[in-house]
Amino acid sequence: MKTLTEYLWFETKARRELVRLTDTVAALLKKSGIQEGMVLVSAMHITAGVFVNDDEPGLHEDIWDWLQHLAPHGPDYRHHRTGEDNGDAHLKSMLVHHQVLIPVTAGKLDLGPWQQVFYAEFDGQRRKRVIVKVMGD
């Protein structure tokens, strides 16, 4: 089995932001030479997430609204007693999860016709990273 590990670094301009990673992940898969296997894409921060879904702006706004409804930004988190102000970001990360595993078939990401890979930032404006690990033969 072969592997390739790469780290992607982000410094988002806003507190919350979506970054489409599909092309970057596909390029790393190609670089690896792996034809059959898996690609793990994982946010290495507890206030960010990675997910697969449609790249459609209306859906993106629906996702933000849904997350804000479930974990609203505001002062009423026990976590804020530590001096932080990002309690909502920790909960949003749990809702979208921190990683995805994507199958590789015939040297390509085996995604559905509308599926794209996204990094979701919930407490941005500072340096963060994502690990991409390609594994297979």
- pLDDT averaged per 10 residues, the chain (length 137): 96 94 98 98 97 98 98 94 95 97 98 98 94 98
Q: pLDDT at position 56, please?
A: 98
CB 125 within 8 A of CB 15: yes
Angstrom distances, CA of residue 25 to CA of 65, 86, 114, 124: 27, 28, 16, 21
| Residue partners of 72: CB distance under 8 A and separation at least 6 | 88
- Could you list the residue range(s) of the whole structural domain that residue 129 is in? 2-136
At position 75, the amino acid (one-letter code) is P
pLDDT at 44: 97
What is residue 126's DSSP assignment?
Answer: S
**What is the model's pLDDT at position 48?**
97
Is 122 in contact with 14 (CB distance < 8 Å)?
A: no
Whichever domain contains 51, its CATH number is 2.60.120.460
Domain count, the chain: 1
